[in-house]
Structure 1
Amino acid sequence: MTDEPGPAERALYLAAVRNGGRLRPEDLAPGDRPALAALVARGLLTPTATGWTAAGPRALGDRLGLELRTRAIRLLQHAERLPGTLGPLARAYDAARHPGSPPVDLGAAGPGAVGSGAGTVDDTAEVRRRVSQLVSECREEVLAAQPGPRPLEGLRMALAQDLSLLRRGCSLRTVYQPVTLADPAVRDQVALRTGQGAQVRVLAEPYERVLVFDRAVAVIPAAEDRSRAVFLTDPTTVAYLVAQFERDWARAAPAGRHLDPPSVTTVRIGRLLARGLTQRAVATRLGVSERTVAAHISRLRDRYGAHTLFHLGWQLRGERHD
């Protein structure tokens, strides 16, 4: 029996309600017997000497709600225990590997393999699968340099795995460009991760995309559309990419001010700049001093990584300021 009454049960119950809350044997059609039995089992119909009486459905709703919540709690508790339950198997799997071998079987990369310690994967779905496997098997640290806009759907899909990574004590450090955090929905996704211990910094200059897992495997794009990726395991190459990431991380600024929503005045100034108004014109329009406008423009430049007022206005084109 499902948690909720089906169409036939609902129809029969409503017929009883319309009949003054009573149902007699002569009111039943031959095909009503299964629905009748189910309504009685649920407690929505109570047998009497002359037939059945409709009972209030709120009690059923309360009871089913309690059962569903209890079931959900058990499932959540099971999900929390699952990594520990599988821990011995995971450790046995890791121990069985040859020392220094990559967490992913890069030897199966196919015709695109580029030699020892590196493998090219040409299929987008396979790239995602292998990166997901690396995240799942990570034991200490993930480094991520992510220039440019981030696909919101991809962030949403990866949220559960990222939070699991953080809960098991791994470090997650990510460098973004200011334009990435200009999207409020992306900022919300990033905040969900930083709230669980992820570290995020913003670098307003060009840098290359790279993912590094446990300083043992690095993933870099092999195509601009990210449809192809190279998985690197050569220690010297990975160490070089880690050094590049640490250099960018040291130059990057904490992302706190990017994650906090801008003030109403800052938003209004941004709208006017996006329409092509000058700093003086914005000050006149809002009835504030040019110094005040300059302070807000400075914050907007930091937020968007803009070096000039023209660049800032261009960055703000089409931006939604809710």
Structure 2
Amino acid sequence: MTDEPGPAERALYLAAVRGGGRLRPEDLAPADRPALAALVARGLLTPTATGWTAAGPRALGDRIGVELRTRALRLLRHAERLPATLGPLARAYDEARHPVGAPSVGPSAGCPGAGVVVDTAEVRGRISELISECREEVLAAQPGLRPLEGLRMALSQDLSLLRRGCALRTVYQSVTLADPAVRSQVALRTEQGAQVRILAEPYERVLVFDRVVAVIPAAEDRSRAVFLTDPTTVAYLVAQFERDWARATPADSRLDPPPVTTVRIGRLLARGLTQRAVATRLGVSERTVAAHISRLRDRYGARTLFHLGWQLRGEHRD
């Protein structure tokens, strides 16, 4: 049986509703029997001495919603555990490619991603892999505008990085935080421990992972990048970053926190409450809750209410 009633079930249920909420045996055709059995199994029709009575569908919707959310949470937790499960295999793979004590050969020694990468998708993929494998810190100098959609897509991975104890330090320019939506995205990271500073003077774009791998652009449009592992080169880029970081100013005052009511609604959503339940708990209208949820969805880049609740669950575990 599927999660939702099919066309035949819907038609039979609506016929019962139009008949005053009752369905008699003589109202049924032989072809209606499978739909009748399914409606009874779902609890949408209740058997009586003279036939069947229609039950309210909201309880069914709530029950199915809970079951679907529970199923989705189980899958998402499995997805979060998967990197740790595959960790031993990944380490064995890395050790096989780069045996301990083997001589370094060329720029790729010690890092499968070293060298020039010319495909935009591959650049993003390798940076994502470096973030997933990072164990201590990420340093990022990001001049100019930051694509909002890119920040939203990277949010989950950045928060995971911070929650496992890694440091994330980023230098931006003032123009970056001029967009409120970008400020909100940056604030989501600083709320979890990321540090952000603003530097007015020009500087070069660079990413450094665990002070072992550095990434610099090889094209103005960021379609190509160079992955560097030479210790002297990486140390030089780290020194440049630290110099810029020391001259930059903290961005805390520019990152506006969400309103208190919005935070409270976020906490309740993180606990799995529906929009209606949140409105009842706080004693406000569903329209008010919907407005706050809309702001939260924009802030987190969440497409659905469930996705929003999942994004919020790491921040509000109380």
Pair in the same fold by TM > 0.5? yes
2:234 matched residue in structure 1: 238
Mapped to 1, the partners of 2:256 and 2:22 lie a distance apart of 60
2:214 aligned with 1:218? yes
Gap runs ≥5 in structure 1: 107-118, 262-322
1:205-250 CA-partner distances (Å, limit 9, x unpaired): 1000011111111111111111111111111111111111111011
* Among 169, 177, 180, the residue aligned to 1:181: 177
On the 8 A contact 1:102/1:217 being kept in 2, the answer is no
Q: Output the amino acid matched with 1:104.
A: P
Cα distance, 1:192 vs structure 2: 0.6
- Quickly say closer, same or farther: Cα 1:76–1:120, change in 2 above 3 A: closer
Aligned-partner residue type, residue 193 of structure 1:
R
Residue in structure 2 matched with residue 10 of structure 1 by the alignment: 10
Which residue among 160, 168, 173 is the counterpart of 1:172? 168
CA-to-aligned-CA distance 1:27-85 (integer Å, 9 cap, x gap): 33454333222211101112334432212223323332333344344445445544443
1:98 is matched with: 99
Mapping 1:62-101, distance limit 5 Å: 62-96=62-96, 97-99=98-100, 101=109
Q: Deviations over 1:287-309 (max 9, x none)?
A: xxxxxxxxxxxxxxxxxxxxxxx
User: Which structure has the bigger radius of gyration?
Assistant: 1
Query: Aligned-pair distance for 1:170?
Result: 1.2
What is the CA-CA distance between 1:142 and the residue it aligns to? 0.9
Q: Which deviates further from its counterpart, 61-70 or 171-180?
A: 61-70
TM-score normalised by length of structure 1: 0.71
Cα distance in structure 2, aligned partners of 1:258 and 1:26: 71
Aligned residues: 249
Partner of 1:48 in structure 2?
A: 48
Partners of 1:44 and 1:55 within 8 A in 2:
yes
Counterpart CA distance in 2 for 1:234 and 1:155 is 29
Query: Matched residues in 1 for 2:201 and 2:66: separation?
Result: 53
> Deviations for 1:109-162, whole angstroms, at most 9, x for unmatched residues?
xxxxxxxxxx11111111111111111111111111000000000000111111
Instruction: Report sequence identity in percent.
Output: 86
- Where 1:231 maps in the other structure, the secondary structure is strand
Q: Distance in 2 between matches of 1:31 and 1:4?
A: 20
What is the TM-score of this pair, normalised by structure 2? 0.71
Over aligned residues, Cα RMSD in angstroms? 2.2
1:224 alignment partner, SS class: coil
Of the candidates 235, 252, 255, which is equivalent to residue 256 of structure 1?
A: 252
- Counterpart CA distance in 2 for 1:6 and 1:202 is 56
From 154, 158, 165, the counterpart of 2:154: 158
Cα deviation, residue 171, structure 1: 1.1
Query: Corresponding residue for 1:27?
Result: 27
CA distance in structure 1 between the aligned counterparts of 2:29 and 2:181, rounded to whole angstroms: 54
Q: How far did residue 90 of structure 1 move?
A: 4.2
Q: Structure 2 regions of 5+ residues with no counterpart?
A: 258-318
CA-to-partner distance for each residue in 1:148-197, whole Å, 9 max, x for gaps? 00000000011111111111111111100010001000000001111111
- Provide the rounded CA distance (Å) in 1 between the counterparts of 2:252 and 2:154: 22
- Return the alpha-carbon distance in structure 1 between the equivalents of residues 230 and 53 of structure 2: 76
